[in-house]
Amino acid sequence: MTEKNYEPQAVEAAAQNYWTTTRAFEVIEDATRPKYFCLSMLPYPSGALHMGHVRNYTISDVISRYQRMLGKNVLQPMGWDAFGLPAENAAIARKTAPAKWTYSNIEHMRTQLQTMGYAIDWTREFATCNPDYYVHEQRMFTRLMQKGLVYRKNSIVNWDPVDQTVLANEQVIDGKGWRSGAVVEKREIPQWFLKITDYAQELLDGLDDLPGWPDSVKTMQRNWIGRSEGLDIQFAIEGEADPISVFTTRPDTLMGVSFLSVAAEHPLARKAALSQPEVAAFIEECRHGGTAEVDIEIQEKKGVETHFKAIHPITGETLPVWVANFVLMNYGTGAVMAVPGHDQRDWEFATKYDLLIRMVIVSVGVRDAVRELGRDAAGNKDSMSAALGESRAIDVVEPAGEVDMLDEFENNIITEGAYTEYGFLVNSGEYDGLNFRDSFDAIAARLESEGKGARRVNFRLRDWGVSRQRYWGCPIPVIYCANCEAVPVPDEQLPVVLPEDVEFTGVKSPIKADPEWRKTVCPQCGGPAERETDTFDTFMESSWYYARYTSPGASDMVDARANYWAPVDQYIGGIEHAILHLLYFRFYHKLMRDCGFFDSDEPAINLLCQGMVIADTFYREDVQGRKEWINPADVEIQRDEKGRVAGAVLKADGQPVAIGGTEKMAKSKNNGVDPESMVHKFGADTVRLFSMFAAPPDQSLEWNEAGVEGMSRFLKRLWRELHAHVSQPDHPAVNAAELDATQKTLRRQIHETINKVSDDFGRRLAFNTAIAALMELLNAVTKFDDMSDQGRAVRHEAFETIVLLLNPITPHICHALWQALGNAETLIENQPWPKADSAALVRDAVKLAVQVNGKLRGTIEMPISASKEDCERAALAEPSVVPHIEGQTIKKVVVVPGKIVNIVV
RNA sequence: GCCGAAGUGGCGGAACUGGUAGACGCGCCGGACUCAAAAUCCGGUUCUGGCGACAGAGUGCGAGUUCGAUUCUCGCCUUCGGCACCA
C-alpha cells in the first residue's frame, strides 16, 4: 500500500465491509473460552442518533474490542427500548400510528449506528415492542401473580380535568397540564404493584458485593432504599375504635410529642372532613398540584386541625391531630408524631400554627451544666441530678450554640430551630438523663409490653407501581370477571397483543376507546369478562432486556445459554439511571433467579456511568424578548489576540449572536450536534476518537468542532508518518543488545505506553489519558530521525504498537494501517494485545525534585541505586538549592526514594 | 426541600496511593514553506513583576492536619444529575 492521503470514507467502508462479510462480531457460546458480556443501556428510538448515544456505544465498543484482543469471547448486543410516551406524542403531532413512527425510527437509527463501525452482534437485535419479546414479560407477570409478588391497590395519579386523562410527571408544568393548561388534580385509581419491598434488604445488602459499581451509585441506592430502625407507636383516638399508627426513628423524643400529623388521604382526615368544612376544604386544596415528590417537598407547609384528639401512649395526655400537606400517604403509615423541639419541619409547622414546642433532648454539655445547677427546667432542684447520673455518651455532637441552648433549657423555649442531634433526655419523667440508645430500648420495651408499639425496620423504598394508563406499552395480562375478580391470562392465551394499526388522538388510549378489544371470557368460570386496558411501565421492558440478548429465540424468557453469558461484565449508561432503572434491573435479576433462570445474584459486575454531552448555546432575542436558539454549527466564534472568546456571529449574516453558556445537548436549546453530519465530514474514527479524548467517560463531554479537527489531524499525521516509514527499505529485527541510548529511550517509551494504555483500558477506563499517551508516542516517533537498520526496526515496533493500542478506539484506520505495515493477517483475526517487555522498561537514572520548605528549588539526577544519604548529599550541594539554605539551620531532610527530597530549614 | 456528583491556564482536560501543578489536545502569538491562501512543519504560551538570570502568587471560597495538600478533615458558595408516570 502506498496511499498518500488518508480518506476516511474509503477506509471505513472497506473495513466495515470486511467485518460484515466475515461476520466478525457474531458470537456463540463457547465453554472453552472466557466470555465477556459488554452491555450498553439500550436506546429509545427517538428518531435520530444523538451524541449521547455515540459516546455510550463508543465506550462500550472500545472495551469490547480491547477484551476481544485479550482473547475473550465478547458479546456486544444492541436493541431498542421501543415502548414509551414520546411515540404517543409524535403520533399526535404527525397523525401517524405510534408503531409506525417507532419502526421507521429504528430503521433509520440502525443505519446510523452501523456507520460508526461498532463490533455489535446484530443477529441478536430486538425491539421491546415486538410481541415475541413482551410475551415473556407478560408470562413473568402472571408467574409473579401466582407467587404472591403482585398486588392491586389504589394509588394517586396526576389527573387533567379538561383532557380527562392521566398525566406523567413530565407533563405537569407548574402544577398545570402541559396541553390543556388546567390545574392538575390528584386522583386515586386502582393500579398493579410489584413487591420490590420484599427484596429491599437483599437489594441493600447486595450493594456490598458490587465493588465494580461506582460508590456514588451505591450510596444513592442505599439512601433510596432507606433502611431505618424504629418503633411503630399506636396513638389511641378519643371516641374512635382504631388507633393511629405512626413510625418513628426517634422514640427518644416521644415525651416531646405535642401533636400528630396525618396525610390528606388518611382515613382519619377523610372522616374529619365529613363534619368539618375547613378540613374538607383543606383536603380539596391538597388535591391540586402534581404528585412528584419535589413538588410536595418545596411547597409551603400547611395544615388544618381536626376535632380528633390522640392519647399519648405514656402520659395519657390528649394531643391535637392535624392534617398536613407534607405527610405522604404512600410512605410509612401516612401519619407522623410531631416533635417540634427536635424535628425541623415540625418546628416550622408548630411555629407557624402556634403549637406547643417542648425541649426533651439536650447536648452532653448542657446536661452536665444542668446537673451542676442541680435542677430541672421547672426549677425543681434535685429531680434531674439523680436521673442524669449514669448515661453513656453515644453519638453526641456538640452544637455551636451551647450557651444559647442552656438559656433555652432554663427558660424551656426553643427559638432558633429544632435541636436534631442525638443527646440526653430531659423533661421526660422517668427517662430523664438517658441517651438515645438506652431511651429507645426503655421506651420500646414499655410500649411493647403494653401493646402500644413494636420495634420495626422501615424502608423508604415503595413497591413498584407498574400500571400506566397509556396505549403504547405492553398490555397487562389480567382479565377482570365479576365472579372471579382479577384472573391472570393463562400461558396458552399469551401474548395479549397490542393492536398496532390504530388511530391515536392522544385523548384516550385506543385499547381503552375500543369497546371490542377488552371483551373476553373469564379463563376460570367461562363467563363474560374484560381485559385490563392499562399497560406496563416501560421500565419493565428495560429491566430484563440484557437477559434476552443471551438467548435469542428461546421459548421462555431465556434458556441455558443465559448462565454462560450472565452476569454482564461491563454495563455502560447514563448517570441519570443511577437509581430507578438500575434498581429495577437488579430487582428483576433476582426475580428471574428465583424463577430458576439465573444462578447469579446480581445482573452486572462492573458499571460505568457516562457523563452528558454538552455544547455551547447561542441565541438572539426577538422584540418580545423571546429567545431564538441558534445551532453551534451556524455560528463562528470570535477571539481576541490572547485567544479569549470575544464574541460570536451568525455565519449566514455576519451579525452578532448572544452566547448562552454550555448546556446538555437538547432540542429546546438547539445545541445538538448531529453525529451523522460529523461522520460525513470527518469520518467515524475521528468522531470516536474525539468522544473518547475530550473528557474522561464519567464526566460531561463538551463537543467542540475545533477539537474534532485536532483529532482528524492526529489520524492524518499517523497515516502519513506510517506510510513514510513503510516506504523505507526493509529492516532487520530489533536487537536489544545493539541499541544506542536514543534507540533505547524510544523503545522504553513504546513499552511504557503499552503498560499505560493497558492499565487505562482495563482498570481505569480512562480512555482520554490512553489517547494522550499514544499521541506522545507518535510525537516521539516523529522526532526520532534515526535511519539506521536498528533505528528503522525500533520505529517499526513503535508503529505496530500504536496501531494495536489504538485499534479499540479507531478500528477502521487501524485495520488499514495494519495491512500497510505488511502483515498478512487482518488485525481483527485474533491479533493479541501487546505485552510490555520488562527488559525494555529498565531505567538506570531517576530525576528527583528538591524542595526547601516544600517549595521546588531544583532537580537532581541520581542513579537508580543511590542511597538516601547520597540523595540528601546531592540535594544539599545542588547549585540552585544552595542560595535557599545558606546561613540557615537545617532542621530535617525528608527523602522519598525515586520522588523528592524536602529540606526543612 | 432531600440524595449524589463536579469546580484546576483563554478553553477541554492531566497529575492513578499526600510527593516537581498544568501531560495531551484546542485556541492564540511568532517563524518556515507559498506569488498568495489553505494544508503542513518548527518554536512559544498559568498569572504578576523584571531586558534577563530570577522572584512572588496560584487548583471555587474560608479554616485545619502535614516536612509537603488539586488529593485528607470541617464549614460555605456555585453548577449539574435524580426524586418513584420522561427514558
Q: What's the CA–C1' distance between A342 and B45, in Å?
A: 58
A97 neighbors A501 (Cβ within 8 angstroms): yes
As beta bridge partners, residue A361 has A425
Query: What is the DSSP annotation of A733-775?
Result: ---GGG--HHHHHHHHHHHHHHHHHHHIIIII--HHHHHHHHH
- What's residue A405's pLDDT? 66
Cell numbers placing A366:
448542657
Q: Longest Cα pair distance anywhere in chain A, in angstroms?
A: 106
Q: A865-893, pLDDT tens digit by residue? A: 888 888 999 998 888 888 888 888 888 89
As beta bridge partners, residue A151 has A193
CA distance A738 to A745: 13
Under DSSP, is residue A304 helix (H, G, I), strand (E, B) or coil? strand
Which range, of A328-332, A443-447, A670-674, A851-855, averages the lowest pLDDT?
A328-332
- What's residue A403's pLDDT? 54
Mean pLDDT over A248-271 rounds to 94
Q: What's the CA–C1' distance between A378 and B74, in Å?
A: 37
Cell numbers placing A513:
376507546
- What's residue A375's pLDDT? 52
ipTM computed for the complex: 0.96
Element (H, E) at A70: none
CA distance A779 to A527: 80
φ, ψ of residue A661 to 5 degrees: the values are: 90, 175
Assess whether A169 (CB) lies less than 7 A from strand B: yes
Residue A400: is its pLDDT beyond 50? no
Is the preceding peptide bond at A879 cis, omega within 30 degrees of 0?
Answer: no
CA distance A264 to A281: 11
- What's residue A811's pLDDT? 98
Residue A505: is its pLDDT beyond 90? no
Q: How confident is the model at residue A373 (pLDDT cuts 50, 70, 90)?
A: low
A680 burial via Cβ count (<10 Å: 0-12, 13-18, 19+): middle
Q: List the one residue out of A741, A727, A740, A746 whose CA is nearest residue A797.
A: A746
CA distance A654 to A641: 20
User: Pairing between strand A303-311 and A227-237?
Assistant: antiparallel
Name the residue type at position A700. S
Q: A163-175, pLDDT tens digit by residue? A: 888 999 999 988 8
Q: A138-154, pLDDT tens digit by residue? A: 999 999 999 999 999 99
- Per the structure, the residues numbered 214 to 243 in protein chain A that have their CB within 7 angstroms of any atom of strand B are 215-217, 219-220, 223-224
Cell numbers placing A449:
409490653
A315 neighbors A306 (Cβ within 8 angstroms): no
Is the preceding peptide bond at A567 cis, omega within 30 degrees of 0?
Answer: yes
Please give the share of chain A, as a percent, with pLDDT higher than 90.
75
CA distance A163 to A175: 15
- What's residue A680's pLDDT? 96
- What's residue A506's pLDDT? 75
The answer, as to whether pTM is greater than 0.95, is no
CA distance A730 to A742: 21
Q: Could you tell me the end-to-end alpha-carbon distance of chain A, in angstroms, rounded to an integer?
A: 64
Mean pLDDT over A22-50 rounds to 96
CA distance A463 to A429: 40
Cβ–Cβ contacts within 10 Å for residue A446, how many? 16
Mean pLDDT over A559-570 rounds to 97
CA distance A211 to A81: 28
> Is the torsion defined by CA of A427, A433, A438, A442 positive or negative?
negative
Q: What's the CA–C1' distance between A850 and B44, in Å?
A: 27
Cell numbers placing A589:
435479576
b/e burial code for range A77-87 (CB count within 10 A of at least 16 → b): bbbbbbbbbbb
Please give the share of chain A, as a percent, with pLDDT higher than 70.
95
- Per the structure, the residues numbered 65 to 104 in protein chain A that have their CB within 7 angstroms of any atom of strand B are 81, 83-86
Q: In chain A, how many H helices and how many E strands? A: 29, 35
Which residues 6+ apart lie within 8 Å of A271 measured at CB?
Answer: A308
CA distance A6 to A17: 18
A260 neighbors A246 (Cβ within 8 angstroms): yes
- Per the structure, the residues numbered 173 to 192 in protein chain A that have their CB within 7 angstroms of any atom of strand B are 191
Average pLDDT, chain A: 91
CA distance A351 to A342: 13
Cell numbers placing A819:
495491512
Name the residue type at position A237. I
Element (H, E) at A188: strand A185-194
CA distance A542 to A126: 12
CA distance A729 to A722: 13
- Per the structure, the residues numbered 353 to 412 in protein chain A that have their CB within 7 angstroms of any atom of strand B are none
Which positions of chain B lie under 7 Å from any protein Cβ? 1-6, 10-16, 19-21, 23-29, 39-42, 47, 54-57, 67-69, 80-87
Q: A715-736, pLDDT tens digit by residue? A: 999 999 999 999 999 899 999 9
How far, in Å, are A256, A405, A451, A764 from residue A431 at the CA level? 12, 20, 19, 54
Q: What's the CA–C1' distance between A59 and B6, in Å?
A: 21
Which residues 6+ apart lie within 8 Å of A106 measured at CB?
Answer: A45, A80, A82, A127
- Per the structure, the residues numbered 141 to 160 in protein chain A that have their CB within 7 angstroms of any atom of strand B are 157-158
Q: A494-504, pLDDT tens digit by residue? A: 999 999 999 88
Cell numbers placing A585:
434491573
Assess whether A868 (CB) lies less than 7 A from strand B: no
Q: A809-818, pLDDT tens digit by residue? A: 999 999 999 9
A356 neighbors A339 (Cβ within 8 angstroms): no
Q: A152-162, pLDDT tens digit by residue? A: 999 999 999 99
A768 neighbors A696 (Cβ within 8 angstroms): yes
- What's residue A694's pLDDT? 95
Start-end of H helices in A608-704: 675-682, 684-693
Which residues 6+ apart lie within 8 Å of A605 measured at CB?
Answer: A210, A212, A567, A568, A569, A570
Cβ–Cβ contacts within 10 Å for residue A190, how many? 11
Q: What's the CA–C1' distance between A769 and B41, in Å?
A: 26
E strand map for A497-567: 519-521, 528-531, 535-536
Q: What's the CA–C1' distance between A856 and B50, in Å?
A: 21
Q: What's the CA–C1' distance between A759 and B47, in Å?
A: 35
Which residues 6+ apart lie within 8 Å of A682 measured at CB?
Answer: A8, A708, A709, A711, A712
- What's residue A457's pLDDT? 96
